[in-house]
Amino acid sequence: MRIALGTVVLVVLLAVLAPAGAQPANWIVIPGHAVGDIQLGMTQQQVLYRLGMPDEISNDRAGDGSLNVYWVYPQAERTVFVVSWTKRHGDPGGADFIFTDNPRYVTSKGVSFASSTFKDVLTHYGAPDRLTGGGRSSVVLTYEAQGIRFRLDSDGRVTGMTVVPRK
């Protein structure tokens, strides 16, 4: 009985301490805070612990000399989960945006992919602070005070969400 109990304790400990893999425990988007289990402000080490190694890491330099780092986690069919850090000199930098286009995610106000439209976003979030083109066939609605951006396709359907710090 002691050996069996010890084995159970070890298995439970390993399950708790092991990285979660690239699939989140929840599918809720909280504007200005989190996408699933990943929160704004998390360090690279914290994200690594939660999601494991990303499939792709890319970066670019901004005009102010800061380094933008992007960790890309492919998810279900042709969708991604992206965590970004802007690193400035002497600043460890926490995650400053989290993007997903995975249709399983839904905002805390009920906006979801494919089934939510431009009108639904306006109903739940009001008029955007900014509306910009996201490409030839998409538009981005930015809600700076709420900390979220929505990408919509040419049919007005939500196709992506980005959580950013509230301004």
This prediction's pTM: 0.80
Domain that holds residue 42: 21-163
pLDDT above 60 (res 145): yes
103 belongs to a structural domain: yes
Give a yes or no: residue 14 inside a domain.
Answer: no
Residue that is written with structure tokens 């995610």 in the block? 105
Is the CB of residue 47 less than 8 Å from the CB of residue 96? no
Output 97 or 17, whichever has higher pLDDT. Answer: 97
Q: Taking the CA atoms of 141, 144, 145 and 148 in sequence, report the sign of the dihedral they define.
A: positive
Domain count, the chain: 1
Beta bridge partners of 34: 30, 39
Which tens digits make up the pLDDT trace of 34-83?
Answer: 999 999 999 999 999 999 999 999 998 877 778 889 999 998 778 899 99
User: Is position 108 within any domain?
Assistant: yes
12 is a domain residue: no
**Interval 135-149 mean pLDDT:** 92
pLDDT at 117 over 60: yes
Q: Residue 37: which of 50, 48, 49, 52 has the closest Cα?
A: 50
pLDDT over 70 at 1, yes or no: no
Assign residue 135 a region (left: φ > 0; alpha: ψ between -120 and 50; beta: otherwise). left
Cα separation values, 102 from 18, 74, 81, 113, Å: 24, 9, 7, 8
What is the rounded CA–CA span in Å between residue 45 and residue 143? 29
pLDDT score of 22 = 47
Is position 5 within any domain? no
Given this model, what pLDDT does residue 67 score? 86
Q: Does residue 122 form part of some domain?
A: yes
Whether residue 3 lies inside any domain: the answer is no
